[in-house]
Chain A
């Protein structure tokens, strides 16, 4: 879903980029206050895993491929704002180092995959988590559904940007992107659940979404020490 150069207009990229920049600034400020000791290497290794897993395109119907996005997984592990930082780091390196995703579309790409795929989808996860049983199965079911949705929502944003930029007719972009990514989202859900259940089995304390908000734990630590 990495938009290349020439697909989105300057104003669309600037508008989505400004929103992304605002969220990233907030994320940086918040990380400064709340990032836990264990989360420092975890943020690095989550970024590395997202980068590596995004390289593995899997075939979906009709001669099309898709790959893992990882924004929701990052949000489960590190919290929604840290997930935006993870995706931003990955996208900037992919863009400048690997020519994957255009420089003139970087703002839109960070917005779609980081803000919509990570941050917004995390709150969908929270809603689902509240509605489902507070068990491992409930947690993983909420993760699966919101992971699927994260890809579809990011694709829809991408479609709207392409439509607004006049690259594609809006209707064709929306139906085309939603259709393909409804399938790619199944892969996203499978990978997210596989990784989340593995981490849940070995180190449940490293999953922020399982443990509760990081600053709550920090406040506890501050009170105790």
Chain B
């Protein structure tokens, strides 16, 4: 793969991590469209093992910091999962061709 593509991917990833780490802590905390419309309905949580529930790193007192850390970690994890998935899908074909 050419260097320019790697630079693009690295730049876009950096921007995404920065967005999650430094901008998302200041995002609006108002209820979203669905929460507003379905306000009378009640949630019954089925999955209570989420390690970073509500986008907050555990044991971090500062709310802004907790959200920024959870966001940055999540962004990197999503990147890794997306890459591993697509690399696994494409691998067989590239090997055959190469």
User: Are A47 and B81 neighbours in the complex by a CB distance under 8 Å?
Assistant: yes
User: Are A57 and B32 neighbours in the complex by a CB distance under 8 Å?
Assistant: yes
Dominant SS at the A interface?
helix
Interface band, chain B: 35 or more
Dominant SS at the B interface?
helix
User: Are A5 and B46 neighbours in the complex by a CB distance under 8 Å?
Assistant: yes
User: Are A203 and B8 neighbours in the complex by a CB distance under 8 Å?
Assistant: yes
Which residue in B12, B70, B83 is a CB contact (below 8 Å) of A49? B12
Chain A 29-44 interface 0/1 with B at a Cβ cutoff of 8 Å (1 = within): 0011101111111111
> Does residue A177 face the partner (Cβ distance < 8 Å to B)?
yes
Give the Cβ gap from B51 to chain A, nearest Cβ, in Å.
6
User: Are A43 and B82 neighbours in the complex by a CB distance under 8 Å?
Assistant: yes
User: Are B5 and A93 neighbours in the complex by a CB distance under 8 Å?
Assistant: no
Within 8 A of B (CB), among A139-187: 155, 158-159, 162, 167-168, 172-173, 176-177, 180-181, 184
Contacts of A177 on B, CB cut-off 8 Å? Answer: 33-34, 37
User: Are A6 and B24 neighbours in the complex by a CB distance under 8 Å?
Assistant: no
User: Are B80 and A44 neighbours in the complex by a CB distance under 8 Å?
Assistant: yes
User: Are B78 and A51 neighbours in the complex by a CB distance under 8 Å?
Assistant: yes
> Does residue A196 face the partner (Cβ distance < 8 Å to B)?
no
> Does residue A89 face the partner (Cβ distance < 8 Å to B)?
yes
Chain B 66-98 interface 0/1 with A at a Cβ cutoff of 8 Å (1 = within): 010011001111111111111101101110000
User: Are A95 and B47 neighbours in the complex by a CB distance under 8 Å?
Assistant: yes
- In whole angstroms, what is the CA distance A104 to B28 when docked? 26
User: Are A52 and B16 neighbours in the complex by a CB distance under 8 Å?
Assistant: yes
- In whole angstroms, what is the CA distance A47 to B74 when docked? 11
Known: A49-B16, A99-B53. A180 touches B36 (CB 8 A): yes
> Does residue B52 face the partner (Cβ distance < 8 Å to A)?
yes
User: Are A44 and B83 neighbours in the complex by a CB distance under 8 Å?
Assistant: yes
> Does residue A126 face the partner (Cβ distance < 8 Å to B)?
no
Give the Cβ gap from A151 to chain B, nearest Cβ, in Å.
9
Give the Cβ gap from B89 to chain A, nearest Cβ, in Å.
5
User: Are A168 and B86 neighbours in the complex by a CB distance under 8 Å?
Assistant: no
Contacts of B79 on A, CB cut-off 8 Å? Answer: 44-45, 47-48
Residue of A nearest to B30 (CB): A65
User: Are B82 and A45 neighbours in the complex by a CB distance under 8 Å?
Assistant: yes
> Does residue B62 face the partner (Cβ distance < 8 Å to A)?
no
Q: List 30 A-B contacts (CB under 8 A).
A: A1-B34, A2-B32, A3-B34, A5-B43, A28-B89, A36-B90, A41-B83, A42-B9, A44-B81, A45-B13, A46-B82, A52-B20, A52-B71, A55-B20, A55-B67, A56-B24, A58-B27, A64-B30, A64-B31, A65-B29, A65-B32, A93-B77, A98-B50, A98-B53, A98-B74, A99-B47, A158-B34, A159-B37, A172-B37, A173-B38
Partner-A contacts on B (CB < 8 A): 1, 4-6, 8-9, 12-13, 15-17, 19-20, 23-24, 27-34, 36-38, 40-55, 67, 70-71, 74-87, 89-90, 92-94
